[in-house]
């Protein structure tokens, strides 16, 4: 299937701009397997605020507790998974004080094992769906916001999965919420430029361990973060059919084109920085409005060279969407700015509801959900959007392989 069902040519727009689809069939990398995993500890969002104020010994801060409750109610999240437990704060009381108390070593000491182990659980599922032995993986791309080690989670993951010692590793740190999209873009390039390559991409996030702290009324975006983020890992196997069919492989999506854009003047709107007290972060309340004002032009600019076909008259509703659910208001902004019909972001909203924002891992959950929901007659072409610090938007044009079966 991999080699015989390459993407059909993308019809050109009237100006006949050069298109990536002018490349021969089967030249595009395809997603050949997807896997996801979460830590076992799961907290309901409607109980989260009270849990958080209890474990941080801050029950007396009722105004902040009520604010967190209001944020949780509007978050579009039902539950989230965490590597973090109440026991973590009992074992590491220094994690509670983010005002200069050193705790980075203790936090990194936990993520060192947690990141590759969670990645391995997701990757094992992706490899099982792919259907070939782990030793056939030629390249490994790992992304995380939850580490600062060398050798890093990529090497541990390779060992846990029994990959070949010659596997070619790439590790992407601190890419924020678009890390999964960046890793997929790198994997696409590796697969398309190395004949026979099979690239394992894995994102693993236990960033709650790095960023957790007690409530602080001078740092309300950190309070917001406690309501949004969860832990999880996603993985995919990427490869090109390259004229050497391997019948066991069944493409899910073809990765037709990848691009990245940064919204001018938005460097401080979203940021992360590792410090001695852990991961410091900023999430401006302006982010949803910033996206609402710019995302349409940004996506149009990135698509312009491609001549992507949309159903006549359907506009942005003529494609399927896999948008990173950075927050409920992020999805609302994209929906409003692009004029999307209700339901177009259903997969993203479902993932947000079930898991929260798992930074770079989230896009794998969304892609998994998009393919689960696919039905006869659904749009053949689609777009992924990753949004994170920069403010950076990563986009990939996908073609569903199932529409060619
Ligand atoms: C178990 C341990 C767990 C620990 C977790 C630890 C944390 C881990 C963190 C990991 C590190 C990750 C860092 C990554 C940073 C960059 C990555 C991203 O892209 S990030 C992705 C980007 N994601 C986003 O940008 C989030 C997008 N935002 C949203 O989705 C929504 O605004 C909403 C759901 C937060 C609220 O719904 P909405 O309809 O707007 O409802 P309303 O208008 O009624 O407001 C309700 C209350 O919310 C308030 N408030 C709002 N914004 C902020 C703010 N920035 N700041 C502060 N407060 C804010 C607002 O003031 C109001 O308060 P009040 O007046 O009631 O007192």
Enter the ipTM.
0.95
How much of the chain exceeds pLDDT 90, in percent?
Answer: 80
Provide the CATH topology of domain 253-400. Answer: Peroxisomal Thiolase; Chain A, domain 1 (3.40.47)
Asked if the domains at 29-240 and 253-400 fall in one CATH topology, the answer is yes
Specify the range with the lowest mean pLDDT, choosing from 41-50, 123-132, 225-234, 292-301: 292-301
The overall average pLDDT reported for the chain is 90
Ligand 1: which atom is nearest the Cα of residue 207? Answer: 10
Identify the band that residue 246 occupies on the pLDDT scale cut at 50, 70 and 90. Answer: low
Residue-wise pLDDT for 61-119, tens only, equals: 999 999 999 999 999 999 999 999 999 999 999 999 888 789 999 999 999 999 999 99
307 CB under 6 A from ligand 1? no
Q: How many helices (H) and strands (E) does the chain have?
A: 12, 13
306 Cβ partners below 8 Å, 6+ apart?
10, 17, 19, 20, 21, 256, 257, 397
CATH architecture of 29-240: 3-Layer(aba) Sandwich (3.40)
Task: Check if 212 has its Cβ closer than 6 Å to any atom of ligand 1.
Answer: yes
The answer to whether the beta carbons of residues 279 and 206 sit under 8 Å apart is no
Query: Is residue 312 pLDDT above 80, yes or no?
Result: no
Q: How far apart are CA 285 and CA 283, in angstroms?
A: 6
- The domain segmentation of the chain, as residue ranges, is 29-240, 253-400
CA gap 60, 66 in Å, rounded: 11
Place of tokens 């991409």: 201
- Pick from 208, 177, 169: nearest CA to 84: 208
Beta bridge partners of 234: 36, 203
- Whether 134 contacts 199, CB under 8 Å: no
Residues marked active site are found at 177
pLDDT of residue 304: 81
Q: Write down the pTM of the prediction.
A: 0.93
CA–centroid distance, 96 to ligand 1, in Å, is 20
DSSP for 207-236, written as a single string: THHHH-----TT-HHHHHHHHHB--EEEEE
Length of the chain: 405
385 Cβ inside 6 Å of ligand 1: no
Please determine, for residue 10, whether its predicted confidence score (pLDDT) is greater than 50: no
């Amino acid at each position: 299937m991999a080699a015989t069902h390459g993407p059909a040519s993308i019809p050109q727009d009237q100006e006949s701009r050069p298109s990536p689809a002018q490349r021969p069939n089967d030249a595009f990398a395809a997603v050949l397997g997807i896997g996801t995993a979460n830590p076992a500890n799961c907290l309901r969002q409607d109980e989260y605020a009270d849990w958080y104020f209890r474990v941080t010994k801050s029950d007396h801060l009722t105004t902040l507790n009520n604010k967190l409750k209001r944020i949780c109610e509007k978050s579009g999240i039902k539950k989230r998974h965490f590597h973090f437990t109440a026991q973590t704060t009992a074992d590491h009381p220094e994690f509670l004080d983010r005002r200069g108390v050193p705790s980075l070593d203790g936090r990194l000491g936990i993520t060192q094992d947690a990141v590759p182990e969670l990645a391995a659980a997701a990757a094992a599922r992706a490899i099982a769906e792919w259907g070939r032995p782990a030793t056939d993986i030629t390249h490994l791309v790992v992304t995380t916001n939850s580490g600062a080690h060398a050798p890093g989670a990529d090497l541990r993951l390779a060992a846990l999965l029994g990959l070949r010692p010659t596997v070619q590793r790439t590790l992407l740190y601190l890419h924020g919420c678009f890390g999964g999209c960046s890793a997929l873009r790198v994997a696409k390039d590796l697969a398309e430029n190395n004949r026979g390559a099979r690239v394992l991409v894995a994102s693993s996030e236990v960033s709650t361990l790095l960023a957790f702290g007690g409530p602080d009324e001078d740092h309300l975006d950190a309070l917001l973060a406690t309501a949004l983020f969860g832990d999880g890992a996603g993985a995919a196997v990427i490869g090109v059919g390259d004229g050497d069919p391997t019948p066991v492989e069944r493409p899910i999506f073809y990765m037709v084109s990848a691009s990245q854009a940064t919204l001018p003047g938005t460097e401080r709107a979203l940021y992360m920085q590792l410090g001695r007290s852990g991961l410091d972060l900023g999430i401006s309340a302006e982010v949803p409005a910033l996206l609402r004002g710019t995302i349409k032009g940004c996506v149009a600019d990135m698509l312009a060279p491609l001549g992507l076909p949309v159903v006549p008259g359907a506009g942005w509703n003529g494609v399927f969407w896999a948008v990173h659910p950075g927050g409920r208001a992020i999805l609302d902004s994209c929906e409003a700015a692009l004029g999307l019909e209700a339901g177009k972001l259903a997969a993203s909203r479902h993932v947000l509801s079930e898991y929260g924002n798992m930074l770079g891992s989230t896009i794998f959950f969304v892609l998994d959900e998009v393919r689960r929901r696919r039905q006869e007659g659904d749009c053949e072409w689609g777009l992924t959007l990753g949004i994170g610090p920069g403010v950076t938007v990563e986009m990939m044009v996908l073609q569903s392989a199932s529409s060619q079966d």
